[in-house]
Amino acid sequence: MRDVAVISFAASAVERDDLQNEVEMLTPVIHEAVGNSGIERTEIGFTCSGSLDYMQGGPFAFVLGLDAVGAWPPIRESHVEADAAWALYEAWVAIQIGEVDSALVYGFGKSSSSDIYEVMSMQYDPYYMLPLWPSMIDVAALQARDYMESSGRTERDFAEVASRSLGNAKSTPYAISARDASVEELLGAPMVNDPLRAHDIFKPCDGAAAVVLAAGDLARSVCARPAWIRGIDHRIEPHALGVRDLSISVSTKDAAQRAGAGKDKIDVAELHAQFSSEELILRDAIGVNGNTRVNPSGGALAANPIMAAGLIRIGEVAKRITAGEADRGLAHATSGPCMQQNLVCVLEGE
Amino acid sequence: MAEPLVADHVLEYPGGYTRSVGPVIGRFLTSLRDGRIEGVRLADGRVLVPPTEYDPLTSNPVGDDWVAVGPRGVVQSWTWVERPRPGKHGLDRPFAFALIRPDGADTAMVHVVDAGSADVMSVGMRVMPRWRAARVGSITDIEAWVPLADGEEPQPAPANTAEVEGDTVNGIVVPIRLEYRRSAGVATTRYLLGLKEHKILGERAPSSQEVYAASRGTDPKTGEPTSIVVEVQDRGTITTFCVVNIPGLSPLAPEVPYVSAQILLDGANNTFFGLIRGVPVDDVRMGMRVQAVWADELVADHTSIKWWEPLDEPDASYDSYKGYL
């Protein structure tokens, strides 16, 4: 295996960006990530993005994202209709194959153009689920209650996740939800989708993220402390919610094991929990203990630009390793209803 | 900077999303149409409801061992929907989404519980289907599940009042409508407002002399923002074109045959889409010089330019536009 590292990361999010189109929103993020990478734009070997056409309401909408990259002379490029964490996986594979030494990975999406909770219903099967139109929140709430039943956890545990995440978010520049809120205060709020309250549910936002990857000596030559990807894996479960045990995340557990998560301590973990209940399910699956700082950025409850938020988890862990605040970290990204598909990436400093 | 332009956009399948269902899903939907619920027994003995063509754990075909399940069921999990979505949800009053396992099944289905109040809902509660009178072979043939009291007998489905086509259900039609409000963006707003002023605006980045008519905000070759506005001409050269003989579905589509072309505007470094009129379709050619025909009333969208007509000028040389093909 080749040594591959995250050497640069940038992200942005706002509650709604009525001013800019997707390209204009994405451009400064890509320029920041590439500009800070120490690698010339034209020297980057591979470009891979993650986005969702249903967010823009048009086919092949992602192609326009290339206007922010600069595709001349012609570049080697690919795209996934998924969170850009999966684009990072593809880029990591491309570097492993050995044909390129560096890659630009980005993801973007504007949730404000539509009712994103409803648009995400398009990922259900068209026979049994879609005709009923359960929203993204509805199915997360089904999972949350299932988890409460089997684990004995309560709404208070969810509120504790939210309280910590919102507090941590205060130091995250692109956070759209950040505040001090006690558990008691949060529990005083009304239910939105019983058993979930507003603080348990991510707020829609518009945003983008970009990461630059580089292999071995190239990474060392441009970055004082690269965040090396020591393991990365993703696993998927059946799509029908009724055939899964929603209270556990077997795919996360498997991915974490294959990524080598348990081989050593984990200083920091960024978990792509879009609902507070999901963080607890993910902690159980990964086996996070009290020595790990979970979601110091505030996680997806602080900012969840869909199609970028999973990549942001990897970028946030890498940022802390590069800054010397952590030696070993774990990043998680999720996709699909009730966390059907999960990716785990283990990063280390040298 | 003017307020950015926004436009409403609807993504919809006219007449509904239509799809064939195959023998397994088709049999299940046929049973719903008949007012029954059926599952299929898997190789390991579990009963899968609703069924798929394959075992979700092993991907083996499910076989043909069909089992009647329900109509009683048990709620495994639920959430309360305080505000139903008009046009999406079947009920117009608050209801629960639930994972419901019909008696005799080993898996659950997502469906609706019409319980009146969240206080009625609990994990483990017993429910039964409330069937629609008019059933077409859809998951929504069960309008909702309703609480089942101890000792209560589920009501059988009423006789089907819908016109039934064929012995089995072969397809579904799902209404799908998604609504969007799209921002044009900073650069495109500038361009569209220019049309209202009888101008075609281009933009370029400081690092390049290349001007892009109707810029989306960046120089696509470099990704640099196009911050410098440059007016380009409303005349140019046809670089390539096609004669359209297939009538368009849109009410805006011109009568066939017509010509659509790419036009290299004078002063721009990209081509621009337009319809060519005022000339027999057989006379349209690469290199032909054309001029925009503007609408009488100018607005901030593409209808401000009706079409393009030939100029009384010699054709442009191939060398002048060969880089834009």
Please judge whether A240 and B52 are an interchain contact, meaning their C-beta atoms are less than 8 angstroms apart. yes
B232 DSSP β-pair partners? B200
Min distance A278 CA to chain B CA atoms (Å): 16
Q: Which run of H or E residues covers position B146?
A: strand B142-147
DSSP result, A230-292: EEEEEEE--S-GGGS-TTS-HHHHHHHHHTTGGGS--SEEE---SBHHHHHHHHHHHT--TTS
Instruction: Tell me: cis bond preceding A131? Omega within 30 of 0 counts.
Output: no
Beta strand A77-80 pairing with A46-50 = parallel
Average pLDDT, chain A: 97
Residue count (chain A): 350
Residue B10 domain flag: no
* Structure confidence at residue B164 (pLDDT): 86
Angle at A320 (CA atoms; ends A314, A326), nearest 5 degrees? 110
Closest residue of chain A to B3, computed from CA coordinates: A19
Is B35 found in the same domain as B163? Answer: yes
Q: Give the tokens for residue A25.
A: 């929103």
- The residue written with tokens 């010089």 in the block is B289
Which of the listed residues B174, B189, B208 is the one where a domain comes to its end?
B174
Rounded CA separation A312/A12 (Å): 10
Round to whole Å and give the CA distance between B287 and B298: 28
* Chain A residue with Cα closest to B124: A149
Mind telling me how many Å the CA of A316 is from chain B's nearest CA?
A: 25
Alpha carbons A149 and A126: distance in angstroms, whole number: 29
Q: Does A115 touch chain B (CB under 8 A)?
A: yes
Query: Chain B: residue nearest A72 by CA?
Result: B221
pLDDT of residue A60: 86
**pLDDT tens digit sequence for B9-58:** 999 988 899 999 999 999 999 999 999 999 999 999 999 999 999 999 99
B14 within some domain:
no
- Residue B8 inside a domain? The answer is no
Q: A150 falls in which pLDDT band (50, 70, 90)?
A: very high
Does the beta-carbon distance from A131 to B112 stay under 8 Å?
Answer: no
> How confident is the model over A20-35, as a mean pLDDT?
96
Q: Are B45 and B83 in the same domain? A: yes
Q: Is residue B161 part of a domain?
A: yes
Contact: A115, B179; criterion CB under 8 Å: yes
User: B120 and B25 in one domain?
Assistant: yes
Question: Chain A closest CA to B184's CA: distance in Å?
Answer: 6
| Cβ-based contacts of A151 with chain B (< 8 Å) | none
Same domain, B263 and B306: yes
Contact list, A133 vs chain B (CB under 8 Å): 85, 88-89
Check A145 against B79: CB less than 8 A apart: yes
User: Position of tokens 């800019």?
Assistant: A20
Please state, in angstroms and rounded to a whole number, the distance separating the CA atoms of residues B71 and B128.
6
pLDDT for the residue B2: 62
* Residue B291 placed within a domain: yes
Q: How far is CA A227 from CA A208, A218, A319, A346, in A?
A: 21, 13, 8, 9
Final residue belonging to a domain, choices B174, B201, B216: B174
Residue B82 carries which side chain, given as an amino acid letter?
A: E
Identify which of B4, B80, B219 has the shortest CB distance to residue A193.
B80
Alpha carbon distance B310, B284 (integer Å):
9
Clarify whether residues B234 and B306 are in a common domain.
Answer: yes
Q: Is residue B12 part of a domain?
A: no
Q: For residues B211 and B201, give the distance between their C-alpha atoms in angstroms, rounded to a whole number.
A: 9
- What stretch of H or E contains B291? strand B289-294
Q: Is the ipTM of this complex over 0.90?
A: yes
Q: Which of A137, A142, A153 would best serve as a mutation to test chain B binding (most B beta carbons within 10 A)? A: A142
For residue B4, being part of any structural domain is answered with: no
* Same domain for B312 and B253: yes
Asked if B37 and B71 count as a contact pair (C-beta separation under 8 A), the reply is yes
Measured distance CA(B113)–CA(B78) in Å, rounded? 9
Residue B281 tokens, joined: 């379709």
Is residue B22 less than 8 Å (CB to CB) from chain A?
Answer: no
Q: Is B169 found in the same domain as B87?
A: yes
Does the model's pTM come out above 0.80?
Answer: yes
Per the CB < 8 A criterion, the answer to whether A225 and A341 are in contact is no
SS3 B211: coil
- Domain that includes residue B88, residue range: 20-174
pLDDT score recorded for residue B14: 84
Residues of B within 8 A of A194 (CB-CB) are: 79-80, 118, 121
Domains along chain A with CATH numbers: 4-116+204-226 (3.40.47.10), 122-197+228-348 (3.40.47.10)
Which residue matches tokens 């960046």? B218
Name the pairing type of β-strands B73-81 and B126-131.
antiparallel
Based on the fold, state whether residues B149 and B191 are members of the same structural domain: no
* A113 contacts on B by Cβ (under 8 Å): 180-183
| Residue A168 phi, psi (nearest 5) | -60, -35
B208 touches chain A (CB under 8 A): no
Contacts of A68 in chain B (CB under 8 A): 218, 223
Please state, in angstroms and rounded to a whole number, the distance separating the CA atoms of residues B197 and A315.
Answer: 45
DSSP B54: B
pLDDT for A334 beyond 70? yes
Whether residues B237 and B127 fall in one domain: no
Subunit contact B183:A20, Cβ cutoff 8 A: yes
Choose one of B174, B192, B217: the last residue of a domain: B174
Tell whether B190 and B260 lie within a shared domain.
yes
Three-class SS state of A50: strand
HSE-up of A245 (CA within 13 Å, CB side)? 10
What is the least distance, in Å, from the CA of A180 to any CA of chain B?
28
A290-299 mean pLDDT: 97
Please give, rounded to a whole number of angstroms, the shortest distance from the CA of B312 to a CA of chain A. Answer: 36
Please report the sign of the dihedral spanned by the C-alpha atoms of residue A37, residue A39, residue A40, residue A43: negative
CB contact under 8 A, A195 and B52: no
DSSP three-state, residue A30: helix
Contacts of residues B1-6 at CB distance under 8 Å and 24 or more positions apart, as own/partner, are B1/B186, B2/B189, B2/B193, B4/A18, B4/A19, B4/A20, B4/B183, B4/B184, B4/B185, B4/B186, B4/B189, B5/B183, B5/B184, B5/B188, B5/B189, B5/B192, B5/B193, B5/B300, B6/A18, B6/B181, B6/B182, B6/B183, B6/B184
User: How far is B103 from chain A, CA to nearest CA, in Å?
Assistant: 14
- The percent of residues above 70 in pLDDT, for chain A, comes to 100
Q: What is the pLDDT of residue B1?
A: 54
Which of A285, A274, A275, A276 shows the shortest CA–CA distance to A245?
A: A285
Counting one residue from chain A and one from chain B, the pairs whose CB atoms sit within 8 A come to 188
Sheet with B212-213, side-by-side order of all strands: B212-213, B200-204, B228-232
Residues B154, B63 share a domain: yes
Asked if the C-beta of A113 comes within 8 angstroms of chain B's C-beta atoms, the answer is yes
A167: Cβ contacts below 8 Å, ≥ 6 apart: A178, A179, A180, A181, A298
CA A345 to chain centre: 11
The residue of B25, B79, B181, B186 whose CB has the most chain A CBs within 10 angstroms, and thus the best one to mutate to test that interface, is B79
Q: Which residue is listed with tokens 């939800």?
A: A177
**DSSP code of A14?**
E
Structure confidence by residue, pLDDT tens digits, A33-82: 999 999 999 999 999 999 999 999 988 888 889 999 999 999 999 999 99
Q: What element of type H or E holds B31?
A: helix B22-33
Q: What residues in chain B have per-residue pLDDT under 50? A: none
Residues of B in Cβ contact (< 8 Å) with A22: 185
Helix (H, G, I), strand (E, B) or coil at B220: coil
What are the Cα distances from residue B309, in Å, to A171, B293, B300? 59, 7, 22
Domain count, chain B: 2
Nearest CA in chain A to B143: A132
B33 and B148 belong to one structural domain: yes
B49 in any annotated domain: yes
Using CB atoms, pick whichever of B85, B179, B186 lies closest to residue A133. Answer: B85
pLDDT score for A47: 98
Any A CB within 8 A of B171 CB: no
Find out whether B183 and B172 touch, Cβ atoms under 8 Å: no
Q: Smallest CA–CA separation between B110 and chain A, in Å? A: 7
Identity of the residue in B21, B88, B99 whose CB atom sits nearest the CB atom of A242: B99
Residue of B nearest to A110 (CA): B182
Tens of pLDDT, residue by residue over B307-321, are 999 999 999 999 999
Is a pLDDT exceeding 90 seen at residue A310? Answer: yes
